[in-house]
Amino acid sequence: MDTTIKNSNLKSEEYFINMGPQHPATHGVLRLLLTIDGEIIKKVEPDLGYIHRSIEKMCERDSYQQIVHLTDRMDYLSSHINNEAVCLTVENALQIEVPERVKVIRTIIGELTRIASHCLWWGVMGMDVGALTTYFYGFRDREMINDIFEETCGARLTMNYNLPGGLMFDIHPNFVKRTKDFIAHFKTKLSEYDTLLTGNIIFQKRMKGVGILTKEDAISYGASGPVGRGSGYSCDVRKYHPYSALDKVTFNESLKTDGDSFARYQVRIQEMWESMAIIEQLIDNIPEGDYQTATNAVIKLPKGEFYQKVETARGELGVYIVSTGTKNPYRLKFRSPGFSNLSLLNHIAVGGKIGDLVATMATLDLVIPDIDR
Amino acid sequence: MNISLNITKTFTELLSGFLPESTANIGAMVIIALIYLAIFSVAGLFLVLIERKVAAWFQLRLGPNRVGPWGLLQTMADALKLVSKELTGTVKADKFLYNLAPYFVIVSSLMALSVFPFTQNFQAFDINIGLFFLIAISSIGVIGILLGGWASNNKFALIGAMRSGVQTISYEISVGLSLLTMVLITGSLQLSEIVEVQKNGWLIVQGHIPAIFAFMIYMIAGTAETNRAPFDMVEAESELGAGFHTEYSGMKFAYFFLAEFINMFIIAAIAATVFFGGWLSPFGITDSIPWLGVFWFLAKTMTLVFLMMWFRWTFPRLRVDQLLTLEWKYLLPLNLLNIILMALIVWLNLTIQF
């Protein structure tokens, strides 16, 4: 204390607080070292590694079919899309053409996954800014999607529905009907989301002009997904490098140029509408045919390097496989969207209040196992 | 013996039959204090239950429904659990202040209850500066929060406590000024007097436009003073964990928790008394039966409590600087203008009297 009060000149000092690894706003085991001056954030240092499981190293040990199951545990909210990324890489390397039916089903389930992920994000986003009721609304709608998944894949979160060459099994007979029911239901509920939260004056005051990320910074930090698109950086992999059945559908890339938290929020809400549009275009004419192509029991990739990227709910997920021609990859690298998006946090949160940091972090939609792997 | 609803008088008379007068007075006070303590501890628990039921209703859930019929005993069970829990604390906490803090909070909110007229003459303590007493007593609570946050030796608790200090001191002004606006009509700070005046029409009708403004400002500032959402900066859970009571456990935590709910009741009860006629029935339909006043008083209070719960489960939280902007740049100037407007209306006899 004797250093703070000297010659009756009151002087304040910066101090540190540890936000996490157990903290309600970090949504997992993320630890943020904050340097704070009163309420104002001076520096944010993310400290990672609390849930590091060496997934990339484990991949070097496993066969390609086994790798697919590991990817569920990265970004568990877009587990299907992660599976798809690995399968697409392996299929491209083997130059297997999967049946049309598989492509369409993969796309539909991928978009459902995106909606489910955004529902959860919307719920916890509201909770982070203090509106606790949103959480239950988001979960109510996500539950319907999970029920659809449960019926078809047998699992609700880590679905393991893909495998190199196709799908584990065919869709459940109820799948089409229930998906349509969900779309009809969700169209009414998504407008409700806007009434409850988006239009709220307190919410808008909390979000607008906060956590501003310019387009240049978004590109140089490697931001992708809704975070990049909220800053006007057109980076939708589904648009530029369409995979599965995404080349057959028309949809708009949701793009906002403001770059603040509210823009990122709007991009995600818009994406849910677009995902529903994609599903609606595909759901009525799922082509007949096989749900698998025959692959060897032991998949050996040709010697070389293979890369495939997909758009998860969080952004661009890249899978980079270096193969020496054996049944295991020599090296496998995931380019996860969360890691790049988290690296922005210090850049956009400094100068704001503690409340701003929490709100900004919520719009980055971080999933910690995706960052740590 | 004629049992009147004036409980203080009744008990004093009862005791003075066999005790000297001064002892009888003290004895009556102790008995009434114990009755109030018992009633409002239980009432606080039921407020918690109501909050949880209302929250469940807003959030597509069922809420507590296991302990007792319709979950009525759930909060009782919670309280029992909290009583039996170990009291933990941080190692380098300032032990004395740390232990003292919860009592400040709970005592201030229980003391405030003593001046409310629940119905005609049913009032523990009818002083002529009732409203002033209420505002003064309810601001003691913040000392407890500041002490608790500071003495816990936890940075999150400290931030929460400092926020609370800033918030309560700011919004107290609005609470005070909006009530003062109504005092211009009643001409008295005595709560029983304030209710008497409203026999010519509730003050929100008598004072029409400025009264409605004053009511709105009062409800906003009152919600902020109880540290509830959308002004729950103090324990903003997504920012500060549990805020100032992070390091409290067991019964000490329960005191903070109970005080929050009793404070909510107090804020609503003041509004019911000052703006909506207290125990008076609408259009005087049951004025001949005085004890029904309790029903009307509670009905009005609980409606306002529900309003505050509605706020909490709908609105996001403000940021700490926005909170201060709202008070100092909008509510306070509006409030001062409102007082002038009310003064003009009273001066020109433009109040609506039935």
Specify the residue for token string 């039916």. A101
Domain C-terminal end among B25, B51, B84: B84
Q: Check: CB of residue A82 under 8 Å from CB of residue A272.
A: no
- Residue A16: enclosing H or E segment and its boundaries? strand A15-19
A304-311, strands of its sheet edge to edge: A304-311, A316-323, A331-335
For the segment B125-182, what is each residue's pLDDT rounded down to a tens digit? 778 888 888 888 888 888 888 888 888 888 888 888 888 888 888 888 889 899 888 8
Best of B231, B239, B309, B325 to substitute, by most chain A Cβ atoms within 10 angstroms, is B239
Distance (Å) from the alpha carbon of A276 to chain B's nearest alpha carbon: 24
What percentage of residues in chain A have a pLDDT greater than 90? 8
What is the number of CB-based contacts under 8 A between chain A and chain B?
80
Walk me through the domains of chain A, giving residue ranges and CATH numbers.
53-371 (1.10.645.10)
The verdict on B281 and B340 lying in the same domain is yes
Angle at B325 between CA A5 and CA B334, to 5 degrees: 130
The pLDDT of residue B334 is 92
Instruction: Choose one of B60, B84, B108: the last residue of a domain.
Output: B84
Task: Confirm whether B37 is domain-assigned.
Answer: yes
Secondary structure class of A314 (helix, strand, coil): coil
Peptide bond into A173 cis (omega under 30): no
Q: Please indicate, yes or no, if residue B353 is contained in any of the structural domains.
A: no
The minimal CB distance from B316 to the residues A129, A135, A353 is found for A129
Asked, for residue B131, whether it belongs to a domain, the answer is yes
Count of H-run helices and E-run strands, chain A: 15, 10
Burial class (CB in 10 A: 0-12, 13-18, 19+), B149: buried
Based on the fold, state whether residues B273 and B235 are members of the same structural domain. Answer: yes
Task: Tell if the CB–CB gap between A206 and B314 is shorter than 8 Å.
Answer: no
Task: Write out chain B residues lying below 8 Å of A128, CB-based.
Answer: 238
- pLDDT tens-digit map of A4-44: 455 566 667 788 888 878 777 777 788 888 888 878 888 88
Domain for residue B352, yes or no?
A: no
Contact B61 A200 (CB under 8 A): no
Instruction: Measure Cα distances from B100 to A32, B87, B139, B161 in Å.
Output: 33, 14, 16, 15
E strand or H helix that includes residue A95:
none
Strand partners, A35: A16, A43
Among A23, A24, A130, the residue with its CB nearest the CB of B316 is A130
Statement to judge: residues B70 and B134 lie in one domain: no
Q: Which amino acid is at B126?
A: D
Q: Are residues B95 and B189 in the same domain?
A: yes
Nearest CA in chain A to B325: A205
Is there a single domain that holds both residue B107 and residue B47? no
Q: How far is CA A303 from CA A289, A300, A322, A331, in A?
A: 32, 9, 8, 12
Cβ separation of A355 and B155 shorter than 8 Å?
A: no
* Cβ of residue A295 closer than 8 Å to a chain B Cβ: no
At A1 the pLDDT is 43
Q: Write the pLDDT tens digit of every residue in A292-322.
A: 887 878 888 888 889 988 988 888 899 999 9
> Where is the domain boundary, B57, B84, B111?
B84
Is A200 within 8 Å of B159 when comparing Cβ atoms? no
Q: Residue B76: give the domain boundaries.
A: 1-84
Report the 10 Å Cβ neighbour count for B195: 26
Contact B342, B207 (CB under 8 A): yes
Query: Are B95 and B65 part of one and the same domain?
Result: no
Query: Average pLDDT of A116-131?
Result: 88
- Please spell the DSSP secondary structure of B47-80, one letter per residue: HHHHHHHHHHHHTT---S-SSSGGGTTHHHHHHH
User: Do B140 and B220 belong to one domain?
Assistant: yes
Distance from C-alpha of A124 to C-alpha of A341, rounded to nearest angstrom:
18
Q: Are residues B222 and B176 in the same domain?
A: yes
Specify whether B141 is located in the same domain as B18. Answer: no
Cβ–Cβ below 8 Å for B159 and A39: yes
Interface check for A128 against chain B (CB to CB < 8 A): the answer is yes
pLDDT bin (cut points 50, 70, 90) of residue A115 is very high
Q: Looking at beta carbons, which residues of chain B come within 8 Å of A202?
A: 230, 315-318, 322
Instruction: Note whether residue B206 is domain-resident.
Output: yes
Q: Do B239 and A358 touch (CB under 8 A)?
A: yes
CA distance B90 to B95: 9
The model's pTM: 0.85
Is residue B47 domain-shared with residue B98, that is, in the same domain? no
Q: Which two tokens stand for residue A346?
A: 């210090």
- Tell me the mean pLDDT in the region A216-220: 90
Is residue B215 located within the same domain as residue B309? yes
Return the pLDDT at A165: 84
What is chain B's mean pLDDT, rounded?
84
Domain presence at residue B354: no
What is the full per-residue pLDDT of chain B (354 aa) written as tens digits? Answer: 344 456 777 777 777 777 777 887 788 888 888 888 888 888 888 888 888 899 898 888 888 888 888 888 888 888 888 888 888 777 777 788 888 888 888 888 888 888 888 877 777 777 888 888 888 888 888 888 888 888 888 888 888 888 888 888 888 888 989 988 888 888 888 888 888 888 887 888 887 888 899 999 999 998 888 888 788 877 767 777 777 888 888 888 888 888 888 888 889 989 998 888 888 877 777 777 777 888 888 899 999 999 988 888 888 888 888 888 888 999 999 999 999 998 898 888 877 777
User: Could you give the number of structural domains in chain B?
Assistant: 2
Q: Is B329 on the interface with A (CB under 8 A)?
A: no
Q: What is the pLDDT of residues B314-354, one digit of tens each?
A: 888 888 888 888 889 999 999 999 999 988 988 888 777 77
CB distance from A25 to chain B under 8 Å?
A: yes
| B319 contacts in chain A (CB < 8 Å) | 205-206, 353, 355-356
Return the ∠ at Cα B78 (arms to B77 and B80), rounded to 5°. 65
Asked whether the bond before A369 is cis by omega within 30 degrees of 0, the reply is no
- CB-based contact A129 B229, cutoff 8 Å: no
B116 lies in a domain?
Answer: yes
Q: Please indicate if any CB of chain B lies within 8 Å of the CB of A17.
A: yes
Identify the residue among A22, A36, A44, A129 best suited for mutation to test binding to B, counting B beta carbons within 10 A and taking the highest.
A129
- Are both B25 and B157 inside the same structural domain? no
Whether B313 sits inside 8 A of A136 (CB atoms) is no
**What ipTM goes with this model?**
0.81
Integer-rounded Cα radius of gyration of chain B: 21
Tokens for A345, please give them: 């946090």
Tell me if B248 is assigned to some domain: yes
Residue A200 confidence (pLDDT):
87
Q: Does B325 touch chain A (CB under 8 A)?
A: no
